[in-house]
Amino acid sequence: MTDPTRTLGVAVVGYSFMGRAHSNAWRNVGAFYPGVPQVRMQTLVGRDEAKVGQAAAELGWAGTATDWRSLLDRDDIDIIDVCTPGHLHAEVALAALKAGKHVLVEKPLANSVAECEELVAAAAASSSRSLLGFNYRRVPALALARELVRDGRIGTVQEARISYLQDWLSDPQAPMTWRLRKETAGSGVLGDLGSHAVDQLHYLLGEHVTQASGTLRTFVPQRPGPDGTEAVTVDDAAWATLHTASGVVASLEVSRVATGRKNALAIELYGTTGSLRFDLERLNELVLTEAGDARTAGASTILVTEPEHPYVEAWWPAGHVLGWDHTFTSQAADFLRAIATDDPVHATFEDGLAAQRVLAAIEASHARGGTLTDTGN
């Protein structure tokens, strides 16, 4: 257990989209969560010295480094926050754990089940704390949904529907990028959005997917690239039917060609006495239906901005809605609190492994014509 009064030095590795979102969290966590250990924004890491210097100045970092290895034996760094592309997560996180640093890894944990297993073993063997950045677990509406499911408020869940739809590839003329090459991206939409979706299922249901049947599709097999037409080697969309240990059946659909959907993570949980619905594009709302008096039963839209709601008391008065980035600040607060108390904190690396196993099973099922496949969870 870390002395809760000690200020912790933080380094973030990476300064693009996710590095920026995590920097925002470290900059604000003290203002909204004054009860957790304080942090110093010590070092921002990036390979390009000029660019990382400018980013550090904008984002509020005290210094920079161009090699993440230089962090490992520094006494002023307590937490290493890994925001690199996914295929580098494992290397950085393993080294950081070995060096006795607390480690936060942006999702997905890694691009393969094998790497995830290695990370889980390393975390288990370490006395440091580790956290996987499935930030949507800190959306107040989803944290409330988790509480309501756990409390039995909708009875026994039987059926779930989860989809995560975007549209930036709808246009067949949208150009080639590194995200559409298997060697750089590892996977297409399944790994990118599917990992969030599967983790939410695990989180909300409190159990794992044990079997999966799935299909992948690349609607546009070739796209214009810098050197002429180039083959797209990852999936544009994926579908799966998932089964949990207790018997819940969940449908999963993820897409980058769903025209008009910008960031639409939509979740529906149907239990024996009630149901829950959520849409990330309206992230302050949760819809609860409870069977009961047929005359007044309805689908109740809860504006999840009351002090009684998870995380909300840290922020603003009732009715003052939060945005996407607030989830990262709450995540940082939970991690800092866990460092000070040794209490559990999620998502764990095990959660990351469990999600990766489901994605791998979906790919395996697709390769076998859609047949039901064990996930290993």
Q: Report 127-146 residues binding a second copy (CB under 8 A).
A: 144
Question: Is residue 323 part of the contact set for a second copy (CB under 8 A)?
Answer: yes
Q: Which of 93, 94, 86, 328 is nearest to 190 (CA)?
A: 86
Choose one: 63-71, 113-121, 198-206, 319-327; the region binding a second copy (CB under 8 A).
Answer: 319-327
Looking at 8, 10, 13, 21, which residue binds a second copy (CB under 8 A)? Answer: 21
Which one of residues 171, 313, 342, 343 is an interface residue with a second copy (CB under 8 A)?
171
CB of 132 to a second copy, least distance (A): 20
Nearer to a second copy, 26 or 349 (CB): 26
| Rounded to 5°, angle at Cα 192 from 244 and 236 | 100
Q: Exposed e or buried b for every residue in 218-230, given b needs 16+ CB within 10 A?
A: bebeebeeeeeee
Is residue 255 involved in binding a second copy (CB under 8 A)?
A: yes
At 74, list the tokens.
């520094």
Rounded to a whole number of angstroms, the minimum distance from the CB of residue 203 to a second copy is: 19
What residues between 266 and 305 interact with a second copy by CB under 8 A? 268, 270-275, 280-284, 286-289, 291, 293-303, 305
Q: What is the largest CA-CA distance in the chain?
A: 66
Q: Sign of torsion, CA 35 41 45 46?
A: positive
Rounded CA separation 96/80 (Å): 7
| Cα separations in angstroms, 340 against 3, 11, 53, 328, 369 | 6, 18, 31, 19, 49
Q: Pick one of 104, 322, 332, 339: the residue that binds a second copy (CB under 8 A).
A: 322
178 binds a second copy (CB under 8 A): no
Using alpha carbons, select from 81, 20, 60, 36 the residue that is nearest to residue 333. 36
Least distance from a second copy to the Cβ atom of residue 321, Å: 5
Q: Which residue among 3, 67, 159, 313 contacts a second copy (CB under 8 A)? A: 159
Binding mask 179-208 for a second copy (x = CB under 8 A): ------------------------------
Q: What is the per-residue DSSP string for 313-353?
A: GGS-STT----TTHHHHHHHHHHHHHHHH----SS-HHHHH
User: By rule CB under 8 A, what count of residues binds a second copy?
Assistant: 100
